[in-house]
Every structure is written in structure tokens, then in C-alpha cells.
Amino acid sequence: MSATKREEVSSHLRYIRLELREMHQMLIKDDLLPDLSEAKEVHAQLDALLDLLSDKRVKNMKGQLGKF
């Protein structure tokens, strides 16, 4: 994985971790469920991260299939 992609993935993970930590604190402190829009936002971030990582994996798989 290139350094740029690694930094991008790291940035996504930091943001997601922060959002999940805030939701967890809300659950513990106030015994409240997080706002649905906040949960959807974190889910969208996870999807973006998966797409970023999957793109690399698909390219690698196509390259490996080309060897056969």
C-alpha cells in the first residue's frame, strides 16, 4: 500500500474511532442511544474505508488472475 493510501486509511480510522468513542460515551454517561444520523455517518465512513481498501484488493486479485 502506498504511503498516501496508508495515510488516508489512517485518517479515516482516526475519525471513525473518535466518532465511535463519542457514541460510546453517550451510551455510558447518559444511557441514551446515539442520533441515527450520527450512526449513519459513521457507517458511511466505514463504507468509504472499505471501498478504499477493496479497490486495492480487487486490483491485486485481477493481477494474480492474469498470471494464470
Q: What is the pLDDT of residues 11-58, one digit of tens each?
A: 888 888 888 888 888 888 887 777 788 888 888 888 888 887 776 555
Name the pTM for this structure: 0.54
Domain span at residue 27?
3-66
Q: Which band of pLDDT confidence, cut at 50, 70 and 90, is reported for residue 68?
A: very low
Count structural domains, the chain: 1
4: confidence class by pLDDT, cuts 50, 70, 90: confident
With b for 16 or more beta-carbon neighbours within 10 A and e for fewer, the 4-42 pattern comes to eeeeeeeebeeebeebbeebeeeeeeeeeebeeeeeeeb
